[in-house]
Amino acid sequence: MIDTSTFRRIALERGDGIAAIVLANPEKRNALSLETMRELIAALQEIGTDRSVKVAILRALGPVFSSGHDLRELHCATGITDEEATRVEEIFDVCVALMTELQSIPQPVIAEVAGIATAAGCQLVAACDLAIASLDAKFATPGVKTGLFCSTPMVAVTRAVGRKRAMELLLTGEFIDAATAAEWGLINRAVPAERLGAEVEALARTIARASGATVATGKRTFYAQIDLDQAGAYAYAKNVMTANALEDDAQEGIGAFLERRAPKWKH
């Protein structure tokens, strides 16, 4: 278990119901090194158990949101040995764990993207629940150009933008701008750089006004039903909604609506 007070590659800030995870290694283009990914997982796990946190924001220092994996860690300079193969496998195991953790914690995670997000950095954006980018942001999955196809980024990106658009990104490795990323569904919207922080903060505040328990139920249910067929999705969602309707915060919210007053959430 990583001591979150001794992070080296990221920073974790909390206050007023919102947590911010900051990629803080701009000299290395906020690369997702093994150490960085482990620190991100530790930060997400800590946020996930903190009931005072309603929303998390993922942002970065410097002109690059994240350049993806640290290719130095993937280069087998002395030849491909069993030891090297095990090390490379570990990198992708931890990457998958990170992307899964983003969607597993109860709080919504908003990516605040200023600058460039490439390869696993683009995957990081796609894996977040929501994303807002500055108009000068750019996105790419350029692995095909270096002989390392962006296969794990493919998973999150395809689920965000659909098959044909994902294949264009993956097969060309070319950048798309923020306006295109918004049109394709990789991000929610693109805003002028000077408004980025305020837009993300406003979105976080809007979400934080709701019951934390209700939001957590919604996020969990969304990812559970999204890949089911329609009948299975309705069956699952019906059971969740029935249980949700009988919870304290749902009864409080319904009562507050009928009585035309502000709700007082228990959770």
> pLDDT digit string (tens) for 114-131?
999 999 999 999 999 999
Q: Fold for 212-259, please state it.
A: Lyase 2-enoyl-coa Hydratase; Chain  A, domain 2 (1.10.12)
Which one, of 146, 145, 142, lies nearest residue 154 by Cα?
Answer: 142
SS3 category, 31: coil
According to the model, what pLDDT value does residue 84 have? 82
Q: Does the structure show a pLDDT above 70 at 5?
A: no
| DSSP 8-state code for residue 61 | S
> pLDDT digit string (tens) for 188-243?
999 999 999 999 999 999 999 999 999 999 999 999 999 999 999 999 999 999 99
SS3 category, 95: helix
Residues 6+ apart with CB under 8 A from 61: 22, 23, 24, 25, 26, 30
Which one, of 130, 118, 110, lies nearest residue 176 by Cα?
Answer: 118
Q: Judge whether 4-208 and 212-259 match in fold.
A: no
Which one, of 217, 198, 51, lies nearest residue 114 by Cα?
Answer: 198
Q: Does the structure show a pLDDT above 80 at 77?
A: no
Helices (H) and strands (E) in the chain, counts: 11, 10
CA distances from 105 to 40, 46, 63, 208 (A): 12, 9, 28, 15
Token code pair at residue 76? 């087998």
Cα angle for residues 179, 185, 188 (degrees, 5° grid):
70
Paired residues of 190 in beta bridges: 133
Tell me yes or no: is domain 4-208 CATH 3.60.40.10: no
Domain map of the chain by residue range?
4-208, 212-259
Q: How confident is the model at residue 87 (pLDDT cuts 50, 70, 90)?
A: confident
SS3 category, 252: helix
Cβ 185 vs Cβ 169: under 8 Å: no
Q: Which helix (H) or strand (E) holds 147?
A: none
According to the model, what pLDDT value does residue 7 have? 93
Backbone angles phi, psi at 70, to 5 degrees: -80, 105
User: For the residues 151-163, what does the mean pLDDT come to?
Assistant: 97
50: left (phi over 0), alpha (psi -120 to 50) or beta: beta
Q: Does the structure show a pLDDT above 70 at 2?
A: no
Q: DSSP alpha helices (H): ranges in 145-211?
A: 151-161, 163-172, 178-184, 196-208
According to the model, what pLDDT value does residue 100 have? 97
Token code pair at residue 77? 């300079």
